[in-house]
Amino acid sequence: MNERMYRWSCAWLTTCAAAWVGCGRTGDASLGQIADAIEATDPVVWINQVNTTVTGDTISKTGGQQALEDTGATSSQTIASGDAAMQYTIDETSRFRFVGFAHTTDWHAANMDYSFRMQAGHADVYEHNTWKANILVAVNDVLKIDVVGGIAHYYKNGALQYTSGLAPTYPLRITTSMIDSSSSIKAAKVSTSSAPGPVTWVNQVNTTVTGTVITKTGGEPFAEDAGAASQ
């Protein structure tokens, strides 16, 4: 195997779950795991509802007073630790409401750690009811907040808008606070990360597994004669 092919093979092997360990001398080649990106995929189940109604995938303010923060709800899903994401779809751009992550069951905006404040064509970034960044929005835009590695990020249609300097406090849950009558949050979703389980290696040839590491321990140096596949 020439040097160019050797380097290409090494780069390729580091990204494969089913791999052939033959890129280096005996005892040198090891494979690690690559974590998947966080995506919000699970529909939010709303609880602790006050003056709200859920219809399909939309929660709306159907009681309380106009222009008063007297309406809200929280998700039944909670994130005890680690990475998480939430997203929703803009269904209208004029009414005043908040949605985001909070670490308490109090849905008022002042208690939201990471949130979007929607009104008059904006879904601005607010943290504990303090402005952080402007975001202009249109109907059908998808807004997302994720917390990855202890850092919160805000997105519009997949494009990063703002990176927070506020460390997360757990447990996190989705909360919404609605001020204007008929305010709504559509298609709210949440997901949490979970550490991937260890790979179970099968079909091993000239390899040894020690803990979470698989190593070439037999065969010839620089020969593609060692490998394994994940179960």
pLDDT > 90: percent of the chain: 73
Domain co-membership, 29 together with 47: no
Domain co-membership, 48 together with 107: yes
Q: Which residues contact 83 (CB under 8 A, 6 or more apart)?
A: 38, 146, 147, 148, 149, 192, 193
The mean pLDDT value for 3-13 works out to 37
Looking at residue 85, its pLDDT comes to 98
CATH number of the CATH domain containing 117: 2.60.120.560
The mean pLDDT value for 159-185 works out to 98
Lowest mean pLDDT among 61-75, 121-135, 162-176, 212-226: 212-226
More confident residue, 89 or 14: 89
Q: Which residues contact 131 (CB under 8 A, 6 or more apart)?
A: 117, 124, 125
Domain co-membership, 89 together with 55: yes
Domain co-membership, 59 together with 150: yes
H/E element, 186: strand 184-192
CA angle 91, 106, 188 (to 5 degrees): 25
Domain co-membership, 29 together with 141: no
Domain co-membership, 148 together with 202: no
SS3 labels along 87-113: EEECCCCCCCEEEEEECCCCCCHHHEE
Domain co-membership, 124 together with 206: no
CA distance to 33, 36, 80, 152, per residue, from 120 (Å) = 45, 36, 34, 25
Rounded Cα–Cα distance for residues 134 and 170 (Å): 26
Domain co-membership, 19 together with 125: no
The mean pLDDT value for 174-196 works out to 90
Domain co-membership, 73 together with 130: yes
Confidence of residue 2 (pLDDT cuts 50, 70, 90): very low
Confidence of residue 189 (pLDDT cuts 50, 70, 90): very high
Structural domain containing residue 30: 3-34+197-230
Rounded Cα–Cα distance for residues 156 and 13 (Å): 34
